[in-house]
A and B are shown apart, each in its own frame.
Chain A
Amino acid sequence: MNGDRLLFTAYIAGFVALLVASVGLLITAYIAGFVALLVASVRLVRRSEPRLDGGQFPASPRASEIGAGDAVAAYLDRMSGVLRLPAGDVAEVRAELSDHLADSIASLEAEGLDRERATREALARLGSADELGRHLRHAHQSTRRLLAGVGGGVVAGTGGVLLGYLGAMAVTVAVALVLGLAVALLTALLTAIGVPFPDLTYYRTEMIAGSLAIAAGTGTRFAIRTSAGLSRRTPRSMAVPWAIALGIGFSCLAVFGIRGPQGWPDVIVELCIPVVAVAAATVQIDRPMPHVGRWGVAIVVISVIGIGFLFGAVGSASPMWVQTDDAWYMHADIAGPMAPSAWLPETGLSSRIGESGDGATQARFVLNTTTTPIATALANWHDIRGEAWHGTLGLESLDTHYSSPFAIEPADIQNDAIVASFHFDLMRHAGAYWLFLTGVGPDGRRYVLSQGGGGVASFYGSVWDWLTATQDWLTATQ
């Protein structure tokens, strides 16, 4: 089996493995597919790059040696201008025709023509430089090669995205680790409170989106330069269709495809993905790709395994919740006066915060004893509701900059609890929050009925969800 067939088999195998993996969710098939695509991609790039670089075919000196340099060079320059082939092909065609002209001139001189007439006759036999250039271009740029170029570009681009993503993640994690450890060590030295492990998951969306932006750039350049090399076109001529296709594709990925904790920095980094792809397609696309050797691929693969272990060690981001028994310690009076104890059940109310199945944060307020049904215990109260107030970042207290809750939800009286559910995952600016149960007492005033419970929430969704999220959530739910 020759190299071409092996390569073709490798990337078909890669796509088939990924297809099998997608249907059956087989991790082994995923890994095999990605490795096959990675290898095929690097080989395709290494095969295409020399063709895009004219350095291996220096102009033949023979024509100038025989003293016909100017006329021959002018002819070849004109023909090269029409060729519009990769630099390697142009240099090869020039070298071949230059040799041909040198032979032809020498032969005509041997027949008795002087140098000038021999040169004119040799050039005349080749015909019009424009026509020759056009015919040579058509000979090189066949439909078969164009299809091979598009197919090879897709494979190389996929591998390029993979390689760029893994490489960027490896670098990002390494930098984050070094910086995190440096900060942790400094903190330890200053406060002697120990070395906390850097929480990489806090920056998860930025890291993924940033790595994808680099991956988009790498994949785009892989795709364009490989398809140019295989289809015998200049990278610049291939850049526009690829920039349009990949710009649209990466825009869809950035806006709808990436779901995770979102904030303005995340959204900006995600929107950079298509911008980087288009920039990679248009800025210095004629510049050769850096050489990617087997050691480069090996380092990326090893780094990826390291990242896997690292994320395994750090764990996934989980919400942080706190409770307090002393609401007034943390400026809870901002939320309202505490209900007079005479109007409350003797045992008082406790709050418990957790997640409901649909991603909502659920505050459950329960009686500390269950001898009395909660509806009976709170019979004197009406308009009972849950209120979410901004807290300080470390949840030490309520944020005193705010004088009203940022979210209000009606409280449902269930069997033994009053429940209020908040979709902080759909709110842009929830952040640190405190939840209270409030109600209107017999005197017509609103009071806080229980101690608070707090947590830190973040918006979860795509960029589209973020951009189209309700701005004024409080107004919308009141």
Chain B
Amino acid sequence: MPGPIRGQLLKGTTTLLVLTVLRDGELYGYEIAQRIRERSGGAFVPSEGALYPALHALEAGGALDASWRDSDRGPRRRYYKITEKGLGMLEAHAQEWASFSLGMARAVGGVER
């Protein structure tokens, strides 16, 4: 089984991954990182140092709403929630990614037109 994808290949995908996992509900930062890891079967290990700038940039851009509240399983945490704008952004990014990955697969080989 190939190891986790890191570094350059993950650059630019953090936004898509964050928006994807937040589509299912509100999460806080650490949970978002864990959820991405789980959903990708350990293939994607987002850099935690890149995660928070991405979350804050998405919040500043209006794609996410953030609020502090008590967690069900612990102390007060900062929860992120996707907004309508964020859902639109997710759709656009997902289409871009689908087109990109298909193109890459064709270029690298293995997928016929």
Contacts and interface: CB of A to CB of B under 8 A. Distances in A.
Nearest to A65: B75
B48 A104 contact: yes
A243 B54 CA distance: 34
A135 interface: yes
B30 A132 contact: no
B47 A127 contact: yes
Question: Which of A92, A131, A132, A139 has its CB near the most chain B CB atoms (within 10 A)?
Answer: A139
B42 interface: no
B48 A128 contact: no
Contacts of A92: 78
The size bracket of the interface on A is 20 to 34
B47 A139 contact: no
Interface in B50-71: 50, 52-54, 56-57, 60-61
Given A99-B77, A127-B49, A142-B61, A104 B56 contact: no
Contacts of B77: 96, 99
The SS class assigned to the B binding surface is helix
B30 A104 contact: yes
A95 B28 CA distance: 12
A117 interface: no
Interface string A47-78: 00000000000001010000000000000000
A141 to B, nearest CB: 9
Contacts of A291: none
Interface in A95-118: 95-97, 99-100, 103-104
A99 B56 contact: no
A59 to B, nearest CB: 13
B75 A128 contact: no
A132 B60 contact: no
Nearest to A133: B53
B48 A126 contact: yes
A232 B29 CA distance: 21
Given A60-B75, A96-B29, A139 B56 contact: yes
Contacts of A140: 56, 60
A125 interface: yes
B53 A135 contact: yes
A100 B50 contact: no
Nearest to B49: A127
Contacts of B48: 100, 104, 125-127
Contacts of A138: 53, 57
B52 A136 contact: yes
A95 B56 CA distance: 14
Contact of B53 (A99, A100, A128, A132): A132
B16 to A, nearest CB: 17
A405 to B, nearest CB: 72
A103 B60 CA distance: 25
B47 A144 contact: no
A100 B30 contact: yes
A92 B77 CA distance: 10
A136 B48 CA distance: 12
A128 B75 CA distance: 26
A142 B60 contact: yes
Contacts of A43: none
Nearest to B28: A99
Nearest to A95: B78
A145 interface: yes
B56 A125 contact: no
A97 to B, nearest CB: 7
B75 A99 contact: yes
Interface in B61-95: 61, 75, 77-78
Contacts of A145: 60
A96 B78 CA distance: 7
Contact of B52 (A96, A103, A144): A96
Nearest to B46: A125
B30 A128 contact: no
A366 B60 CA distance: 80
A375 B33 CA distance: 104
B18 to A, nearest CB: 12
Question: Which of A96, A97, A142, A144 has its CB near the most chain B CB atoms (within 10 A)?
Answer: A96
Given A103-B30, A142-B61, A145-B60, A135 B75 contact: no
B73 to A, nearest CB: 10
Question: Which of B47, B52, B57, B61 has its CB near the most chain A CB atoms (within 10 A)?
Answer: B52
A135 B28 CA distance: 19
Interface of B: 28-30, 47-50, 52-54, 56-57, 60-61, 75, 77-78
9 contacts: A60-B75, A92-B78, A93-B52, A95-B78, A99-B28, A100-B48, A100-B52, A139-B54, A142-B60
Q: Which 8 A-B pairs have the closest CB atoms?
A: A127-B49, A135-B53, A139-B57, A139-B56, A103-B30, A139-B53, A125-B48, A96-B78
Interface of A: 60, 62, 92-93, 95-97, 99-100, 103-104, 125-128, 131-132, 135-136, 138-140, 142, 144-145, 232
Given A99-B28, A99-B77, 4 more contacts: A96-B52, A96-B77, A125-B49, A232-B60
